[in-house]
């Protein structure tokens, strides 16, 4: 059995989550907590296998609570389950030792799969979070290279790198959080600055340069 502690300050969400967990025969309910302090005490007392933890708690953040839980019981797997999806929170959770990060809109099968994976010592993230992580690390690789295309702004370089990967305008907008018109403007500026006539030539130039 995989024993699970649920930590969230919204009773209705906790009830829904408990209903999902109760439907899986391999899962056993180890308790619930509404605050970070309660989570720390419950984890020490009950020693669950998995903690499903919200980030936004009344007394302290779920990340701070997770650090304390893992300090006392490093064998416990903590999965963050939150509405918050900014990069700072995601990578803070990873650095603190989270074995997963799911958004609260995750479906039952995602949650169940994440619990099984974390119990096996793996790390798992919702598809949207995983895609952003891949893009983030790719961006870090690019920034570590020799500065290419100095005539372009930092944002234009990001757009060009995604063009070189074959992303559409819509995909670029989603990844960078830009409106379609803004993406088109960036691409127009890139073509002008690189003195090429269309996006295909810009893509060839970018790929030949190592992007």
Retrieve residue 157's tokens.
Answer: 């370089």
pLDDT at 146: 46
pLDDT along the chain (211 residues), means of 10: 96 94 95 96 96 93 94 95 83 88 90 94 81 68 62 90 92 90 94 91 86 69
One domain for residues 94 and 196: no
User: Are the C-beta atoms of 101 and 125 separated by less than 8 Å?
Assistant: yes
User: Are the C-beta atoms of 156 and 193 separated by less than 8 Å?
Assistant: yes
Q: How far is CA 37 from CA 16, 65, 84, 186, in A?
A: 22, 7, 20, 48
One domain for residues 17 and 105: yes
pLDDT at 138: 66
Count: domains in the chain:
2
One domain for residues 123 and 44: yes
Task: Supply the CATH number for residue 7's domain.
Answer: 3.40.50.2300
pLDDT at 36: 94
One domain for residues 31 and 112: yes
User: Are the C-beta atoms of 64 and 36 separated by less than 8 Å?
Assistant: yes
- The last residue of one of the domains, among 141, 164, 187, is 141
Other beta carbons within 10 angstroms of residue 69's beta carbon come to 27
Residue corresponding to tokens 């701070």:
64
84 backbone dihedrals φ, ψ, rounded to 5°: -80, 125
Task: Supply the CATH number for residue 195's domain.
Answer: 1.10.10.10
Range(s) of the domain holding residue 205: 154-209
pLDDT at 88: 78
pLDDT at 131: 74
> How far is 44 from 38, CA to CA, in rounded Å?
10
One domain for residues 69 and 40: yes
CA-CA-CA-CA torsion sign (190, 195, 199, 201): negative
């Amino acid at each position: 059995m995989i024993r699970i502690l649920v930590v969230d300050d919204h009773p209705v969400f906790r009830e829904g989550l408990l209903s999902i967990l109760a439907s899986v025969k391999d899962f056993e309910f180890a308790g619930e907590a509404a605050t970070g302090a309660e989570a720390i005490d419950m984890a020490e007392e009950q020693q669950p296998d998995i903690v499903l933890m919200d980030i936004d708690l009344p007394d302290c953040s779920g990340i701070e609570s997770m650090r304390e839980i893992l300090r006392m019981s490093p064998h416990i797997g903590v999965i963050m389950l939150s509405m918050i999806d900014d990069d700072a929170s995601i990578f803070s959770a990873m650095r603190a030792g989270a074995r997963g990060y799911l958004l609260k809109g995750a479906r039952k099968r995602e949650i169940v799969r994440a619990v099984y994976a974390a119990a096996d010592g793996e790390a798992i993230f919702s598809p949207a979070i995983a895609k952003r992580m891949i893009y983030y690390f790719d961006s870090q690789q690019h920034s570590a290279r020799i500065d290419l295309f100095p005539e372009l702004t930092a944002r234009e370089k990001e757009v060009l790198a995604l063009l070189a990967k074959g992303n559409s305008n819509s995909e670029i907008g989603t990844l960078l959080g830009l409106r379609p018109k803004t993406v088109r403007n960036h691409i127009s500026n890139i073509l002008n600055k690189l003195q090429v006539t269309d996006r295909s030539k810009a893509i060839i130039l970018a790929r030949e340069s190592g992007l």
